[in-house]
Amino acid sequence: MSSLIPWSRWVPVSLLCIGGCAQVGPDFQTQHESWSENWQDPVVEQVVEQRPQPDMRQWWQVFSDATLERLIAEADAQDAGVKIAGLRVMEARAQLGIAQAGRYPQSQVASADALYVHSKKSNDSLSTTSRVWQLSAGVDVGWELDFWGRFSRAIESADAAYFAARANHEAALVLLHAQLAESYFALRTAEARLRVARENARLQKRSYEITERLFKSGESDELDLQQARTQYLGTLSSIPELESQIMRTHNALAILIGRPPGPFPEGLDLTEKEGVIPQIQRAVLQDVPANLLLRRPDIRAAESQVAAQSALIGVAKADLYPSLTLLGSIGWSATSLPGSLNGLVLLGGPSVRWNVFDYGRIKNNVRVQDARLQQLIVAYQDSVRQAAREADDAASALVKALEREEILRAASEAANRSLTLANALFREGYSDFQRVLDAQRALFAQQDAYLVNRGNAVSDLIALYKALGGGWYSDQPVVDAASREQMRQRTDWGKLLDEPVRPAAGTSLPAQRATPDE
């Protein structure tokens, strides 16, 4: 009696086995830190308020600056880092498709042969010639049943890796928007400082010209002249440095929007709000900081990486157990040789393989995967702590910057009044010129410090939004149109290059799932 069972009978058996397969290895556990779920930071609470607008995903709208919004839109479409992150999403989608192919027969080999044999034999009395055609065709199929969850765990890992790539793309947007906004307001701060430096240089030049006339007329000594000249030239020397800073910041903005240094494209007029530094009050949030912290794209990416590695332990553990493969073969052969049989051959049956003596290779591979998982868990925990530290640092800096702003504003007003009084007393002859010089020096220093502090306050607010994961939204596709067209011309991408549906921020694993045609 033949031990082979017809292929048609193995199909329902295989489906039954697939339905009853067990997954070895650990199931993914959500990695929320217990302290982070109810995290409250008094410093953060001092500088935030909850209201619906603007959306945390587009926090830069709090500045109501159309130029900044146009720059961000341009950067979303052109920045190289964001483009690369989007292409890595496409790479992860293709890797997921490879993993999902494990649901189907892993080996499918179609073969066909055509042989022609021409032989000639001869001896002293006889010579014979034979011509024979031999044709054959067949299909061999091997389907390893996912009895221990090897393939389902691989799909689970690739699925989590895909969402990690999506989160990394959003993290790139968070970083890009923060860098661009910081550079933009650094430009505005430098422009405001340059305006103040030029104004003070103009006032000091006037004082220098007055002392020069007094010295030439003999009404003043040379000391006043040289002191006025020194102060004027010192202030004048700060102007080229500020102009250089403006040029460097301008170039940094150009690179961020994907352009070489030089004039900006039409529609991006940076002179519209030249030297305007916004007045900072509080950060606007739509949720409590604890929830926003865990929605940070880099935190979600770290959690997805933990999920991907957790599934790889199951893939490695499946090698410890026997594998059951269903084999099938359909073949047809024909020959022109007289008396030979032509026909169809069907074969099917199971194959069991078990690497019994692996000398610790498989077990140690499981240990390797487990050690990598623990590394990623520790890295995730550290990422959450670092995110909380970044939020606290940014909030603390913002609180102190707002405190200093009131002091520096009052100091600037006092310095301005002091200069007015010093000039009046000098003109009336009640004080020497040194008091005028001191008042001018103090005015310039206080005005410059006030502008620097206001710029720092804006930077601290941006850092707080970034620390809480804001700014991950973009209306640009994951892969830009030009790149999609180039890739389609080279390779058949099917539907993979179509824009995937964006998951809501903070969607937990493994609740989110991807599909090969998503």
Average pLDDT, the chain: 85
State the greatest distance between any 2 C-alpha atoms of the chain, in Å, as a whole number. Answer: 147
pLDDT digits (tens, 9 = 90+) for 357-392: 887 899 999 999 999 999 999 999 999 999 989 999
pLDDT given at position 246 = 94
Q: How confident is the model at residue 14 (pLDDT cuts 50, 70, 90)?
A: very low
Residue-level length of the chain: 518
Domains and CATH numbers, the chain: 7-35+61-116+131-264+288-490 (1.20.1600.10)
Question: Taking 60 as the threshold, does the pLDDT of residue 332 lie above it?
Answer: yes
Confidence of residue 307 (pLDDT cuts 50, 70, 90): very high
pLDDT band at 393 (very low <50, low <70, confident <90, very high): very high
Q: At 339, is the pLDDT very low, low, confident or very high (cuts 50, 70, 90)?
A: low
More confident residue, 485 or 428: 485
Mean pLDDT of 403-419: 92
Give helix 66-78 / helix 150-216 axis angle, nearest 10°: 140
Q: Of 253, 280, 276, 272, whose CA–CA distance to 67 is shortest?
A: 272
Residue 10 has pLDDT above 50, yes or no: no
Query: Which residue is listed with tokens 């011309």?
Result: 489
Distance CA 365, CA 480 (A): 40
Q: Is 263 helix (H, G, I), strand (E, B) or coil?
A: coil
pLDDT at 497: 84
Note the pLDDT tens digit of each residue in 194-224.
Answer: 999 999 999 999 988 888 888 888 877 888 8
Distance separating alpha carbons of residues 317 and 310, to the nearest angstrom? 11
Query: How confident is the model over 125-146, as pLDDT tens digits?
Result: 667 777 788 888 889 888 888 8
Model pTM score: 0.84
Long-range contacts of 354-363 (CB under 8 A, 24+ apart): 354/321, 354/322, 354/323, 355/319, 358/319, 362/316, 362/319, 362/320, 363/320
173 has pLDDT over 60:
yes
The pLDDT of residue 337 is above 90: no
Task: Answer whether residue 268 shows pLDDT above 90.
Answer: no
**Residue 482 in tokens:** 């030009």
Task: Check if the beta carbon of residue 317 is closer than 8 Å to that of residue 25.
Answer: yes
pLDDT tens by residue, 344-354: 888 888 888 88
**pLDDT average, residue stretch 75-93:** 93
Buried b (16+ CB within 10 A) or exposed e, 419-436: beebbeebeeeeeebebb
Cβ atoms of residues 447 and 146 within 8 Å: no
Lowest mean pLDDT among 30-34, 397-401, 487-491: 30-34
Residue 512 is predicted with a pLDDT of: 52
How crowded is residue 238: how many other Cβ atoms within 10 Å of its Cβ? 18
What does DSSP say about strands 127-144 and 323-335: parallel, antiparallel, or unpaired? antiparallel
pLDDT at 12 over 60: no
**Peptide bond connecting 338 to the previous residue in cis, omega within 30 degrees of 0:** no
DSSP state at residue 518 = -
- Choice among 51-65, 390-404, 411-425 with the minimum mean pLDDT: 51-65
Instruction: Give the span between the Cα atoms of 62 and 52, in whole angstroms.
Output: 12
Give Cα separations from 263 to 60, 254, 255 (angstroms): 24, 9, 12
The Cα-based distances of 217 to 154, 232, 437 in angstroms read 93, 21, 20
Residue 394 reports pLDDT greater than 60: yes
Burial category of 349 from C-beta neighbours within 10 Å (exposed 0-12, middle 13-18, buried 19 and up): middle
Residues in contact with 395: Cβ distance below 8 Å, sequence separation at least 6, in sequence order: 41, 43, 44, 46, 47, 48, 460, 464
Integer Cα distance of 82 and 101 in angstroms: 29
Report the pLDDT value the prediction gives residue 396, as an integer from 0 to 100: 92
Q: Which residue has the tokens 């010639």?
A: 129
Instruction: Provide the pLDDT for residue 312.
Output: 94
Instruction: Give the tokens for residue 328.
Output: 């099938």
